[in-house]
Amino acid sequence: MIKTNISTFAKRISSSASSENLSKVNFPIEILAGLTVALALVPEAIAFAFVAGVPPLTGLYAAFMVGLITASFGGRPGMISGATGALAVVMVSLVASHGIDYLFATVVLMGLIQILAGIFKLGKFIRMVPHPVMLGFVNGLAIVIGLAQLKQFQITNDNGDVVWMYGLELVTTLALVGLTMFTIWLTPKLIKSFPAPLAAIALTTAIVIGFDLPILRVGDLANISGGFPAFYLPKVPLNWSTLEVIIPYAIILATIGLIESLLTLNLVGDITNKRGGASQECVAQGAANFITGFFSGMGGCAMIGQSMINVKSGGKTRISGISSALFLLSFILFASTLIELIPLAALIGVMFMVVIGTFAWNSLNMLFKVPKSDALIIVLVTAVTVVEDLAVAVVVGVIISALIYAWTTASRVQAVTRSSRTEEGAKVYEIEGPLFFGSATTFSELFNPSTDPETVIVDFQKSRVVDQSALQAIEDIADKYLKANKTIKLRHLSKDCHSLLSKSGQLIVDSDDDPDYGLAVDYKIKVGAFR
C-alpha cells in the first residue's frame, strides 16, 4: 500500500514538474515577479529568524531551500513558501531550552511527518474547512500581516530602549510608505507588463539613495551576506530522550505548516482557477523541510503574503517561485550590500498593499446577509487568528462549524403519526431527519409509551441511523415499550442501518429482509430481546 502510494506520487510530481507549457510562459513577467517576491522575503525571513531566536542566515537559508523545493514540485504553481511567523513562535521555546541543533533535528522529523501525510493523502481533509472559516482565516491573516508591519516603525534610542518613531523620521517613513502604495496602485494603469511592487520598490529606493534620507534600511536589521548552505548534521544524541523532546514540537510544526500551506493552496487556487494538489503539496512541504533541516534552515511553509505578491505581480507558474528562490540565494552570495540599501518603508508599503488585497472586504457586507452562525464563525476565526495563531483559529472554526451543523441537523428530526395501513389499531411513527448523537434526545421525546396502543411501528424510510448514540436511543425506546408489555416494530431500516443494529449486540430481531431491496423491513422486537 505504501509502496503503491509512493510510486503514484513520484509519477504525479514528475508529471507536474514537466507539464509546464513553456511556450505559453511569459518569462520576463514570471522572473520579475520572482525578483519582487525575493526582495520582500529578505526582511520577513530575518524578522522570523529573530522571533525564533536563531541567526538571520538560518531564516534566509530556509526561505531559499523551502521556496525552491516547493516551487519545483508543490501542488500549486505560483505559491511561495519560506520561513513563517506561525512556525517561528513555536520554535522559540525549543531553541531557548535545548539549542539550535535540536531545532534542526525537529525540522527533519517535521518533514518526515508531512511526507507521510501526503503519501496517505491526508491533505484531502482540508475540504472540511467551511467557507466562513476560510473568510475568517484570510481576514485574520491580513490583519496579522498588517500588524507585523507596525513593528518596523519602532527604533532603538540612545539609551537602548525600543520606542516608536517620531518627528521627521516618522513623517518621512510614512510619506515613503504612501508613495510605495500609490505607485503600486498607479503602475498597472500605465504599464501592465511590469510588476507594480517591483516598480514601487525601485522608485522608493532611488529616492532614498538619491536624497540620502536617514531612514531605516534592510541593512539595519542584519547583515545578510553569507555562503552557499552547507550540509550540516544536527549535533543531538541519537536516543529516546532526544525523540521525547523533538516529537511534540515536530507534530505541532507539521500540523501548523500543513494547515497554513493547504489553506494558502486553496486561496491561490481560487485566484488562478486551479484545483487539487493538496497531497502533492504535503509531500513537497515535507521534502523541503526534511532537506532544509540538514542545511541549517529553520524550516517553513506556504506564505500567503508573498504568494499574493507573486500572483498579483503576474507570477502564476513554477518559474516565478524558482526565480524567487534563486534571486534570494544570489542576494546572500553576491548582492547583500545592494539589498541592504532598500528602505524598509518600501517593503512596508508593499505588504500594506498585500493586506488590502488579501482582506475579504465583501465579508463585511456578508455579515449582515448570511446566517448569524456563519457571521459568528467569520468574526471568531478572524479574532483567534490575530490573538493566537492560524492553526488554532482554523481548528476552532471547524469545531464550532461542526457543532452548529449538528445542532441544526438535530432540530430537523420529527415524527409524523398515523393509523397503520397494515395492522389494525397500530400507531405508526414516521421519522424524518437523520438520527445521530445530536438528535437522539429529540427522537426519544417523540414517543409516549404509556398512552400508545398495543402495537407501535417506527418507520425509518425518511430517516437514517448514523451512530451508536442513535442505536442506543432506539434500544431505549424499545425497552420502554417492552416494559409496558407492548409490541414495537422497526420498519424500513436500510442495509447499513441494519448492519449497525446487528453489530451492536444489544438487539435480537426476527429478520425476513429481502436482499433484492436492501432494506430491513418490519424487524419485530420481542419481550426479552434485551440482554
What is the model's pLDDT at position 511? 45
User: Is residue 53 a contact partner of residue 96, using CB atoms and an 8 Å limit?
Assistant: yes
Residue indicated by cell numbers 548534521: 233
pLDDT at 413 exceeding the cut of 80: no
Query: Which pLDDT belongs to residue 240?
Result: 92
Cα–Cα distances in angstroms (integers) from residue 341 to residues 58, 196, 207, in the given order? 21, 20, 11
**SS3 state at 101:** helix
Q: Where residue 518 falls among pLDDT bands split at 50, 70, 90?
A: very low
In whole angstroms, how far apart are CA 160 and each of 156, 170, 190, 223? Answer: 6, 19, 45, 20
Cβ(35)–Cβ(324) under 8 Å? yes
Write down all domains in the chain, each with its CATH number in brackets.
29-217+239-359 (no CATH), 372-408 (no CATH), 414-525 (3.30.750.24)
pLDDT band of 178, cuts 50, 70, 90: very high
- Tell me what pLDDT residue 505 has: 38
* pTM passes above 0.75: no
Residue 53 in this model has a pLDDT that exceeds 70: yes
Average pLDDT, integer, range 256-285: 85
Can you tell me the distance from the alpha carbon of 88 to that of 497, in angstroms, rounded to the nearest whole number?
48
Strands, E assignment, 266-363: 301-302
Residue 408: how many CB atoms within 10 A of its CB?
12
Name the pLDDT band for 418 (thresholds 50, 70, 90): low
Range in 78-87, 273-282, 342-351, 402-411 with the lowest mean pLDDT: 402-411
Mean pLDDT of the chain: 81
Q: In this structure, how many other beta carbons lie within 10 angstroms of the beta carbon of residue 125? A: 13
Residue burial 25-34, b: 16+ Cβ < 10 Å; e: rest: bbeebbbbbb
Residue 69 pLDDT greater than 60, yes or no: yes
